[in-house]
A and B are shown apart, each in its own frame.
Chain A
Amino acid sequence: MRRLPIAFAALLWAVPAVAQTLQYGQLEQLFGEPVTASATGEPLRASEAPVDMEIVTQEDIRRSGAVDIPGALRFVTGIDERVYGANHTEIGIRGYNQAFNPRLLVLLNGRQVYLDDYGEVDWKSIPVQLTEIRQIEVVKGPNSALYGFNAAYGVINIVTYDPLEDHLGVANLTLGMPNEIDGSLVKIIRLGDDAGVRVSLGGQKVRALAGTNSYLAGIPVVSDQNGTAAISGEVQLSPKTQLSLELSATDSRGAYYEGYSYSGVFIRTNSVRVGLSSESDIGLMTLDAYRNEERYSDLPNYGAEHGQVYVLQASDDLILDADNSLRLHGEYRSDQLTQPGGNISYDIYAGSLMWNWRISDRLSFVNSGRIDYLTLHFDGKASPGFGLTNADFANRTITGFSFNSGLVYRATERDSIRLFAGRGLQIPSLYDLAIRDRFPDYPYGPYAVIGNPHLEPTAVLNVGLDWDRDLPELNSKLSAGLFAQRSDDLYIEPSSAPGVPVPTFPYYYLYHATQTGYGLAAGTEITFKGGLKSGPRWRASYTFTTTPDHTGIDYDRRYSYVDFGYSTPRHVVTLGIGDSWGQWDVDLQARWQSEYRDFVAPDQENLLRYDIGAYATVDARLAYRLSDTSSVAFTAQQLNAASQRETGGPNVQRRFLLSLTAGF
């Protein structure tokens, strides 16, 4: 046998009762392609999704040799990756990537793992192991009509194997050079015919990157490490009702690049989630409630901060007739951030409607609209001297409308065309809106970070045209797309904004989020992907992105480390080939990108724009399959260079990984 039948030990278990949740495995087997609910909320075949989407499968993940999610996304078309450290990687879509990028919404099985108190994603704080991921769904462009605020530039939804549908048992141990150890254990346990539990544990310890700039020298970070634990259960309560419960905890610590220098950071998170799906006379009803908690502190202890998110969602999927279906959705969200300056929070109330109109067997038209209403709460007194009063915070509300429309036309049996438009909203984070962080004892001079309650959400308007052509003779698919995007009211978060000198003691500098104007983006993405049943597989892509800057910022005179016009490489090319011989698998992947601009601060007084030159990365993986579910793999990352500059942080080093995976 030249190929594993499916992912490691992920085998269909049995025919469940008629399920109320998306049975990814069975539907994929039926339709011969992945299925998704990340486009509209309604289940769809990937080829019929009315958005620009790419799905990374478990097989893609395994063959990449990656040990974390950003590594598995590195070769996806349109993904901009920046490796700032062993624990700190940033992923951007459709431009404007930066350290602590706020412009990408990330979810785990639909639960937000994007940290919207600070507006960032900590990939190491996502409680999931690579071996339990069925697929990673990458939506490029806004999808706020489904997900609300912060789904303005792109959405990544990580979908795991299902405790009721799949059978999975896999342990992994990876040893890396220099000084790395990773381990994970995932098991699905069936409890009779109608219940199942998925348990996952994982951890990683890596020596901190050497060669960081001067700030890191004073911070006692010797290794980056993280651990996650999660348990997820599902019960079929009755033939028409399904209940789910999920608990998770993570601990991540290490060196994080803050756009100019490194900080040692602790992040601890936990979550509790309960879901209920039930089929009724008025449609498929879904209730979902979860609480995310985050504890965050800098080293050496500038202050501990505590974030909490409560979310309650209810939706109803309703088939009206042969041609029309609706999805109604209501949501309440509460975000709270407690930090030394006091408590800040906001509540969001949202409602949305999705209408899927199948005009004919070949043509469908999907429209979604959503309204979000935010009220800001502020506990305490506004700091004097910064021109803001309590009323500025207490009276702040934001009302936002977003939409997504998509026309999907199956032109021939081989060709499909998608035309889509969307408006997404990126709201300022709690930190941006209302933070009151003061650092009177900072060794380089007292400073304060004060939120700006007058910030408006960034409104992102995106239009796109995609063409997909199936090439069955090559078992391949060619995809080509164009997009154009306008971002109004772009803002720079406080930690990226220019420092304003404050004449009155005790604060020398005030950091304050600022609104900067608008930006444009346009580009094209071309992907050719496939493989013959006899073994060889291939992938090639080209991405062109241009991001003209209309923010009005004079980068030569302002102290800012976001440069919207040059933060995205214009050209990215990826190539991948692989084959299998007997028990051996060989995969080679390469990525080249043109130059872009990042920032470094050699000292407290200077911030330098730093042009990162074009660079290439070549990864290779050689694996020997001991059985259908066990293997030994050797991966070389950045085989082409022992060390190379990829960001404003330290050079990225070549990495060798030896991995043992055992199914049970």
Chain B
Amino acid sequence: MTGPCHCGRAVLMLALVAALAARGARAADMPSAEDIDAISHTLGFIDGMPHAGTIRIGVVYDGSAEGGGVDRVIEAIAAAAGPGATRLGAIPIAAADVGKPANVDALLLLPGLKGFAQGITSAAAGRHLPTISTDPQCIEQQLCVLWVEAQPRVSVTLNTKLADALSVRVSPIFAMMVKRK
């Protein structure tokens, strides 16, 4: 027994699935809880981080972009333990406002900030702030000192030139163990 072809509906379903998958892939670019955990440990090897109390992370995002999961990232940071005896705190910073004074110890750059590169590096240089991201483009864009990814295995890449330019110093042993660009 044969019935009418539902090809149009199938194509529509496939397109919907593809769209959802694409959304998923975009969302995956945002730091995961595992990424935040790896970033937290990484902070322990950067000079100038507080030894106790709270390490304040400025979460820089594109304020003009829709959604983006910033709230989820901030919640994940608040839930993560800091290195050693410290805690982590997150302060959302719209990329357009990154030059304004903010009491932070490091900047976590969310994806999609290419258009704000000059402002971010100027702000980081002025306060010797390490810039960290899980976005693989950030190293090539000279935006982040450290690119961290937790999956499938922890990988940390240090942008040595940008670290020098921002006067950010890391443990020499840490520098030997991570990838360097």
- B173 adjacent to A20 (CB under 8 Å): yes
- A14 adjacent to B52 (CB under 8 Å): yes
Contact of B172 among A20, A30, A31, A35 (CB under 8 A): A20
Chain B nearest Cβ from A288, distance in angstroms? 16
Contact of B160 among A22, A26, A322 (CB under 8 A): A322
Task: Tell me the bound Cα distance from A413 to B155 in angstroms.
Answer: 11
Interface status of A217 (Cβ within 8 A of chain B)? no
- A30 adjacent to B51 (CB under 8 Å): no
Knowing A30-B154, A43-B176 touch, does A18 contact B51 (C-beta < 8 A)? no
Interface status of B49 (Cβ within 8 A of chain A)? yes
Task: Tell me the bound Cα distance from A325 to B175 in angstroms.
Answer: 11
Knowing A31-B154, A32-B154, A322-B160 touch, does A15 contact B177 (C-beta < 8 A)? no
Chain A hits for B38, CB < 8 A: 30
Shortest Cβ distance from A361 into B: residue: B179
Chain A contact residues: helix, strand, loop or mixed: loop
Knowing A12-B84, A13-B84 touch, does A18 contact B171 (C-beta < 8 A)? yes
Interface status of B70 (Cβ within 8 A of chain A)? no
Task: Tell me the bound Cα distance from A122 to B177 in angstroms.
Answer: 34
Centre residue among A30, A43, A44, A321 by max chain B CB count within 10 A: A30
Interface status of A221 (Cβ within 8 A of chain B)? no
Chain A nearest Cβ from B165, distance in angstroms? 15
Interface string of A191-232 (1 = CB under 8 A from B): 001000000000000000000000000000000000000000
Stretch at the interface among B3-11, B18-26, B40-48, B72-80: B40-48
Interface status of B152 (Cβ within 8 A of chain A)? yes
Task: Tell me the bound Cα distance from A35 to B176 in angstroms.
Answer: 12
Interface status of A171 (Cβ within 8 A of chain B)? no
Chain A hits for B160, CB < 8 A: 322
Task: Tell me the bound Cα distance from A323 to B177 in angstroms.
Answer: 12
- A16 adjacent to B51 (CB under 8 Å): yes
Centre residue among B45, B86, B169, B176 by max chain A CB count within 10 A: B176
Task: Tell me the bound Cα distance from A17 to B48 in angstroms.
Answer: 8
Interface status of A294 (Cβ within 8 A of chain B)? no
Knowing A15-B51, A322-B180 touch, does A27 contact B152 (C-beta < 8 A)? no
Task: Tell me the bound Cα distance from A275 to B146 in angstroms.
Answer: 31
Chain A nearest Cβ from B128, distance in angstroms? 14
Task: Tell me the bound Cα distance from A476 to B97 in angstroms.
Answer: 46
- A284 adjacent to B174 (CB under 8 Å): no
Chain A hits for B41, CB < 8 A: 26, 29-30
Chain B hits for A20, CB < 8 A: 172-173
Chain A hits for B85, CB < 8 A: 12-15
Chain A hits for B49, CB < 8 A: 15
Chain B hits for A30, CB < 8 A: 38, 41-42, 44-45, 154, 156
Interface status of A42 (Cβ within 8 A of chain B)? yes
Task: Tell me the bound Cα distance from A22 to B154 in angstroms.
Answer: 18
Centre residue among A20, A31, A413, A472 by max chain B CB count within 10 A: A31
- B173 adjacent to A23 (CB under 8 Å): yes
Interface status of B181 (Cβ within 8 A of chain A)? yes
Interface status of B83 (Cβ within 8 A of chain A)? yes
- A413 adjacent to B180 (CB under 8 Å): no
Interface status of A21 (Cβ within 8 A of chain B)? yes
Shortest Cβ distance from B42 into A: residue: A30
Shortest Cβ distance from A28 into B: residue: B41
Task: Tell me the bound Cα distance from A321 to B180 in angstroms.
Answer: 8
Chain A hits for B181, CB < 8 A: 322
Interface status of B153 (Cβ within 8 A of chain A)? yes
Chain A hits for B91, CB < 8 A: none
Chain A nearest Cβ from B9, distance in angstroms? 35
Chain B hits for A162, CB < 8 A: none
Shortest Cβ distance from B157 into A: residue: A361
- A317 adjacent to B176 (CB under 8 Å): yes
Chain B nearest Cβ from A533, distance in angstroms? 14
Interface status of A654 (Cβ within 8 A of chain B)? no
Chain A nearest Cβ from B89, distance in angstroms? 15
Interface status of A279 (Cβ within 8 A of chain B)? yes
Chain B hits for A612, CB < 8 A: none
Which residues of chain A from 26 to 59 have a CB within 8 Å of any chain B CB? 26-27, 29-32, 35, 42-45
- B176 adjacent to A18 (CB under 8 Å): no
In the A-B complex, list the 3 residue pairs whose CB atoms are closest, starting with the nearest: A30-B41, A15-B84, A322-B180
Please list the residues of chain B having a beta carbon within 8 angstroms of any beta carbon in chain A: 38, 41-42, 44-47, 49-52, 83-86, 152-154, 156, 160, 169-177, 179-181
Would you list 22 pairs from A and B whose C-beta atoms are within 8 A, ordered by A residue? A12-B83, A12-B85, A14-B86, A15-B84, A18-B172, A19-B171, A23-B44, A23-B45, A32-B153, A42-B176, A43-B173, A43-B176, A43-B177, A45-B177, A193-B51, A239-B47, A284-B172, A319-B180, A322-B160, A322-B180, A322-B181, A323-B180
Q: A12-B83, A14-B86, A21-B173 are in contact. List 11 more A-B contacts (CB 8 A).
A: A13-B84, A14-B51, A14-B52, A18-B46, A18-B171, A19-B171, A26-B41, A27-B174, A32-B153, A284-B172, A321-B180
Please list the residues of chain A having a beta carbon within 8 angstroms of any beta carbon in chain B: 12-23, 26-27, 29-32, 35, 42-45, 193, 239, 279, 283-284, 317, 319, 321-323, 325, 358, 361, 413-414, 470, 472
